[in-house]
Amino acid sequence: MNTFSKIGLSTALATMIAAPVAAETELTMYYPIAVGGALTEVVDGIVAKFEEANPDIKVNAIYSGNYDDTRVRALSALASGEPAQLAVMFSIDAYDLIEQDTIVAFEDIEGVDTAWLDSFYPALMANGRIEGKTWGIPFQRSTIVAYYNKDMFREAGLDPEAAPASWEELVSMGKALTKGDTYGLMIPSTGYPYWMFQALAIQNGKELMSGDGLETYFDDPAVVETLEFWKSLSTEHGIMPTGTVEWGTLRQAFLEGQTAMMWHSTGNLTAVKNGAAFDFGVAELPANVRPGSPTGGGNFYVFKDTTDEERAAALKLIEFMTAPAQAAEWSIATGYMGVSPAAYETEALKAYTAEFPPALVARNQLENAVAEFSTFETARVRDGLNNAIQAALTDAKSPADALAEAQAAAERLLKDYR
Amino acid sequence: MSGLSRHIESFGALLLAVIWISPLVFAFWAAFHTTSDAVNFNLAAPWTLDNFRTAWGGAPWLRYFLNTFLLVTVILIGQFFVTTLAGFAFAQVRFPGRDIVFILVLMQLFILPEVLIVENYVMVSRLGMFDTILGVGMPYMASAFGIFLMRQAFKGVPIELHEAARVEGCGWFGILWRVYVPLARPTYLAYALVSVSTHWNNFLWPLIVTNSPDTRPLTVGLSIFGAPENGVDISVISAATIMSVAPLLVAFLVFQRQFVQAFLRAGIK
Amino acid sequence: MAKHVNIERRRQAIYGWLLLSPAMILLTAFAFYPSLATLWTSVFSRGTRRRPSEFVGTENYTDLFADPTFWKVVTNNLVYAGATIPLSIAIALGMALWANSKIPARSFVRTAYFTPTVLPMIAAANLWLFFYTPGLGVLDQIGSLLGLPSVNWLGQPETALWAVIIVTIWKEAGFFMIFYLAALQTIPEDLKEAADIEGASRWTYTRRIVLPLLMPTTLFIMVNALINSVKLIDHLFILTKGGPNDASKLILYYIWEMAFAFFDAPQAAAMTIMILVVLGVVAGIKFTILDKRTHYQ
């Protein structure tokens, strides 16, 4: 055998030996953490379990900051040719991701089981279902819930088990609870004001956008009325501070007793539980015309620029991470909801919710939940709405004017898509 | 010179100094106490390391430190290389178009990498250096400021030394290495201190170019640690902040004189 | 002889360009080419799924001028520059004069003034967040001791930009102080002695001798401060993210947001070109008018 044949043969042998190793699929996954700190360990733990069960798949789970950071990171990676196969991103980024042609619908992935797609709470699938297909699978989902200080309720002579169930009760109980340095209620208006506003609007009977992402209803009279109500909580009724209420430090303010009630994500539940030095309760949001809250949080998305093996592996990972056992583990560690009814049937979650009923509030609210605010050009449209809310609350503009401006800006942005 | 006005001035200076140092002091206070104690200023409250433990576990700080260290080192080496060669060329080599090119270089003082973030990001991606330490460092290596400094330093070298080395048979690079570089050592040191502190603290460009903890420097790590969805914990953030500024701060306090001299020297030029 | 000179000249030229090549390659790649590419990008429309990118000339610029947010951001930046530059220079001057004089604990004072400079802006923002937190933060707590109501420093449009400005001044003044210190130390002692003999007060001495002598330094610092007023936006990411209602949004932050949050690279490019033009004008002024007063070797 001459030299060339020897080289050829050894190369062939080497490739054959190397081949099984090369069959390992590598997945890069970007994800946000909603609460700073040790939750990266929980994610790493779940991922490790997955890798054990699937030795031919390697997962790099990269923590990339909050939702905005994660979106920027994931898209930067794609734009610069770096591989990324899946990410947990804002449920409301779906329209923009589709528009930028970056994600693939789950129906288009080989091997997907439509029964699996239907196994999640429908309210949580709402943001992910666009143009008839499913683009996002729920992972860390939430609704807004009302946290309240039971001790303060007792002091004010109110029933600590009865949180406000209507807007009238909200105002009257708020007034009873506001004294000295303590406010009755704080609804944050920085960070994600549109989310809080959406809750109020739906309670007043009006959705802020259409289901196809093409229309907004900011200047609808019911919506204007809602913003006026929010504003009246501070200016007229005095149960909330004037100006904006800071999202980031609200939880601390609640724990320090600066407010008797606060509206915040259920994702804060575990942190509040661990930090509260008083008896606290969690309740569904009050109703006006009807009860309601938007959902919130992040979905799994699979990127388009992936091979079939990568998609199959990503699908497996997502199925694992949203499986009832893992969903239960994630929910207990964070306060986010279990994403499927089956999750709540697991022993772990059953025991946890029996011992800690507030963990069920968000799930119970799903009955009345609506999709989170999302349209095409969602970041800019949302920005306009956020600005309008803040302008009204800081008395820079009247609610009607502010919302009219936001609506005009939204029209300008959306008309190209209709 | 009235004694009273002197006293008032001293008092004013000290008051300003106290005000100036207070944010650091308060952060220090918050970092070592629980959040509740910190915001309520319970002076008798117990000191705790819990915040540091939480902060430490919340992000791969060691990795961030390493990345930052690598980054400033890579940038410094690149800068030394580029600015030495270019500074020498401008100082001692006569070639056509030298003055025009020098103006172009000075223009870079105003074409900041930060302003060009979008296109530089595209460039770095195209070169395949996205999410690499080299990618973060490259735009800064041809530092106009550094070139200028080196040119000044090299111009100050007596021509006789140059001639003497030439007579001994050294080529250009030999002369550069044997005569100019050693004599410019104070400038190098000064420049190094300025460069390291600038790039240790750089944020926007690394934010865009790094994507994973493997390359992320301290500043970016601190920013994502401090901006979670559901709210900030002042004590933990303070602990994380103190932790990440500690090395440079300690280095500064120990080597104060050198730091100040370095900036002074860089400033005079 | 002439031939030798020519060969020598050619060798020098080759060496010169060779030595310059690393710098020129890097500068071209990361300064000159991107500037041109930005100009190119700014005259095309944004490519999306429905409509690929096409040449639109000045449309991005006209859109920008019609965008009220753009004008708000420009106004903000002008206020920001207009406040940080004089204030930080004035404070830096005061600091330098004090740090240079015979006051007690001079070393501590100088260290205290300079320390913010060695911190990253992100850390500085974190530190000041503790100050600005409504109700729980240091400023409000001090205020409540004095009977003042709680102020939402970062959450009100009226105060948000000023809160940001204060953090910038805190960070910058110490840095500028160093330049003044350097300059002060070059002022010969005899000038002071002469002033004393003449019977001039310290204030007169400072005003009529020291300040004019510091003018070149002041101009140098002004240029630096101007550049920083464009470049230094790190703290926005932590403190306000440009809010509330764009009250504290600065132009570089808006560029970042436009490019990386709204995915509108052409608009971001248009704004970048405008900043480059402004910086270019500043550069022009510096190199022609200002440099006539100082001389370089």
Of the pLDDT bands very low, low, confident and very high (cuts 50, 70, 90), residue C293 is low
pLDDT of residue A13: 52
pLDDT of residue C297: 32
Within a domain: C261: yes
Within a domain: C68: yes
Within a domain: B129: yes
Q: Which amino acid is at A36?
A: G
Closest CA to B189 of B88, B130, B265, B250: B265
Q: Residue B217, preceding bond cis, omega within 30 degrees?
A: no
Testing the interface with B: which of A29, A76, A90 to mutate, by most B Cβ within 10 A? A76
Within a domain: B2: no
- Spelled out in words, what is the top-level CATH class assigned to the domain A3-141+296-369? alpha beta
How far is residue A388's CA from residue A385's CA, in Å, rounded to a whole number? 5
pLDDT of residue A18: 46
Task: Reduce the DSSP state of residue A139 to 3 states and report it.
Answer: strand
B247 touches chain C (CB under 8 A): no
Q: Do A40 and B226 touch (CB under 8 A)?
A: no
Q: Is the pLDDT of residue A313 over 70?
A: yes
pLDDT of residue B2: 60
Of the pLDDT bands very low, low, confident and very high (cuts 50, 70, 90), residue A290 is very high
- Across the range A204-231, mean pLDDT stands at 91
How far is residue A105's CA from residue A311's CA, in Å, rounded to a whole number? 11
Q: Evaluate whether B202 touches B191 at the Cβ level (below 8 Å).
A: no
- Across the range B156-162, mean pLDDT stands at 83
pLDDT of residue A302: 92
Task: Give residues with Cβ within 8 angstroms of C136, minimum separation 6.
Answer: A249, A252, A253, A256, A258, B39, B234
Within a domain: B28: no
Q: Which residue has the higher pLDDT, B268 or C195?
A: C195
Cα torsion B70, B72, B77, B82: sign = positive
pLDDT of residue A144: 92
What token pair was written down for B65?
Answer: 């430190």
- Which chain B residues contact residue A69 at CB under 8 A? 224, 227
**Chain A residues in contact with chain B using a Cβ-Cβ cutoff of 8 Å:** 32-38, 40-41, 60, 62-67, 69, 73, 76-77, 79-82, 247-252, 255-256, 264-265, 267-268, 271, 275, 277
Closest CA to B261 of B189, B213, B198: B189
Using alpha carbons only, what angle is made at residue B182 by residues B179 and B188, rounded to the nearest 5 degrees?
130
Question: Which residues are bridge partners to A166 per DSSP?
Answer: A287
**CATH architecture for residues A142-295+371-417:** 3-Layer(aba) Sandwich (3.40)
Task: Reduce the DSSP state of residue C258 to 3 states and report it.
Answer: helix
Q: Do A387 and C246 touch (CB under 8 A)?
A: yes
The whole domain housing C179 covers 54-293
Within a domain: B153: yes
The 10s digit of each residue's pLDDT in B17-43 is 999 999 998 888 888 888 777 777 777
Task: Give residues with Cβ within 8 angstroms of A117, minimum separation 6.
Answer: A106, A107, A125, A134, A137
Q: Do B125 and A35 touch (CB under 8 A)?
A: no
Ordered by start, the domain boundaries in chain A are 3-141+296-369, 142-295+371-417
As for how many domains chain B has, the answer is 1
Q: Do C48 and A189 touch (CB under 8 A)?
A: no
Nearest chain B residue to A271 by CA distance is B230
pLDDT of residue A285: 93
The 10s digit of each residue's pLDDT in B89-143 is 888 888 888 888 888 888 887 888 888 888 888 888 888 888 889 999 999 998 8
What is the DSSP annotation of A154-215?
A: HHTT--TT----BHHHHHHHHHHH-BTTBEEEE---SSSHHHHHHHHHHHTT--SB-TTSS-
pLDDT of residue A146: 94
Report the mean per-residue pLDDT for chain C.
84
Q: Do B267 and C16 touch (CB under 8 A)?
A: no
Q: Evaluate whether B152 touches B90 at the Cβ level (below 8 Å).
A: no
- Which chain B residues contact residue C128 at CB under 8 A? 23
The helix (H) or strand (E) run that includes residue C125 is helix C121-132
As for how many domains chain C has, the answer is 1
Q: N- to C-terminal Cα distance for chain C?
A: 31
What token pair was written down for C228?
Answer: 């920083």
- Across the range C273-284, mean pLDDT stands at 87
Of the pLDDT bands very low, low, confident and very high (cuts 50, 70, 90), residue B267 is low
pLDDT of residue A36: 42
The 10s digit of each residue's pLDDT in A73-87 is 887 777 777 778 999
Residue C197's Cβ-count burial label (10 Å; 0-12, 13-18, 19+) is: exposed
**What is the percent of chain A with per-residue pLDDT over 70, rounded to a whole number?**
93
Q: Which residue has the higher pLDDT, A239 or C187?
A: A239
Report the mean per-residue pLDDT for chain A.
86
pLDDT of residue A4: 52
pLDDT of residue B64: 92
Closest CA to A133 of A111, A113, A107: A107
Question: Which residues are bridge partners to A185 per DSSP?
Answer: A261
Closest CA to A227 of A410, A374, A394: A394
Q: Is the pLDDT of residue C21 over 80?
A: yes
- Which chain C residues contact residue A72 at CB under 8 A? 260-261
**What is the percent of chain C with per-residue pLDDT over 90, rounded to a whole number?**
20
Question: What is the domain-level CATH number for residue B253?
Answer: 1.10.3720.10
Report the mean per-residue pLDDT for chain B.
84
C53 touches chain A (CB under 8 A): no
Say whether the ipTM exceeds 0.95.
no
Within a domain: C90: yes
Number of CB atoms found within 10 A of residue B170's CB: 16
Closest CA to B268 of B174, B200, B166, B191: B191
Q: Which residue has the higher pLDDT, A99 or A39?
A: A99
Nearest chain C residue to A256 by CA distance is C136
pLDDT of residue C92: 92
Q: N- to C-terminal Cα distance for chain A?
A: 70
pLDDT of residue C295: 45
Q: Is the pLDDT of residue A356 over 60?
A: yes
The helix (H) or strand (E) run that includes residue A138 is strand A137-149
A278 touches chain C (CB under 8 A): no
Of the pLDDT bands very low, low, confident and very high (cuts 50, 70, 90), residue C107 is confident
**Which of these ranges, A399-413, B115-129, B226-240, C65-79, has the smallest mean pLDDT?**
B226-240
- Which chain C residues contact residue B12 at CB under 8 A? 98
What is the DSSP annotation of C158-216?
A: HHHHHHHHHHHHHHHHHHHHHHHHHHHHTS-HHHHHHHHHHT--HHHHIIIIIHHHHHH
How far is residue A388's CA from residue C244's CA, in Å, rounded to a whole number? 10
Residue A307's Cβ-count burial label (10 Å; 0-12, 13-18, 19+) is: exposed
How far is residue B249's CA from residue B25's CA, in Å, rounded to a whole number? 13
Q: Do B142 and C94 touch (CB under 8 A)?
A: no
HSE, side-chain direction, 13 A CA sphere, residue C56? 19
pLDDT of residue C2: 66
Q: Do C37 and B218 touch (CB under 8 A)?
A: no
Question: What is the domain-level CATH number for residue C139?
Answer: 1.10.3720.10
How far is residue C158's CA from residue C244's CA, in Å, rounded to a whole number? 9
- Across the range C84-108, mean pLDDT stands at 87
pLDDT of residue A1: 47
How far is residue A32's CA from residue A319's CA, in Å, rounded to a whole number? 19
What token pair was written down for C205?
Answer: 């001495």
Closest CA to C115 of B25, A407, B112, A20: B25
A101 touches chain C (CB under 8 A): yes
Q: Is the pLDDT of residue C240 over 60?
A: yes
pLDDT of residue A20: 45
How far is residue B111's CA from residue C26's CA, in Å, rounded to a whole number? 13
Contacts of C among chains (3+ CB pairs under 8 A): A, B
Of the pLDDT bands very low, low, confident and very high (cuts 50, 70, 90), residue C296 is very low
Within a domain: B251: yes
Give φ, ψ of B84 to 5 degrees.
Answer: -60, -50
pLDDT of residue A39: 67
How far is residue B35's CA from residue B24's CA, in Å, rounded to a whole number? 16
| A137-149 vs A280-283, strand pairing mode | antiparallel
**Chain B residues in contact with chain A using a Cβ-Cβ cutoff of 8 Å:** 35-36, 39-40, 54, 57-59, 121, 124-125, 128, 130-131, 208, 211-213, 223-234, 236
How far is residue C267's CA from residue C61's CA, in Å, rounded to a whole number? 8
Q: Which residue has the higher pLDDT, B5 or A140?
A: A140
- Across the range A231-253, mean pLDDT stands at 88
Listed in order, strand segments (DSSP E) in chain C are none
A72 touches chain C (CB under 8 A): yes
**What is the percent of chain B with per-residue pLDDT over 70, rounded to a whole number?**
94
Q: Is the pLDDT of residue C89 over 90?
A: yes
Closest CA to A337 of A346, A328, A345: A328
The 10s digit of each residue's pLDDT in B204-245 is 999 888 888 889 999 998 888 776 554 667 888 888 888 888
Residue B108's Cα: distance from chain center in Å?
A: 18
Of the pLDDT bands very low, low, confident and very high (cuts 50, 70, 90), residue A152 is very high
Q: Is the pLDDT of residue C168 over 80?
A: yes
Using alpha carbons only, what angle is made at residue B194 by residues C27 and C99, rounded to the nearest 5 degrees?
140
Give φ, ψ of C187 to 5 degrees.
Answer: -80, 125
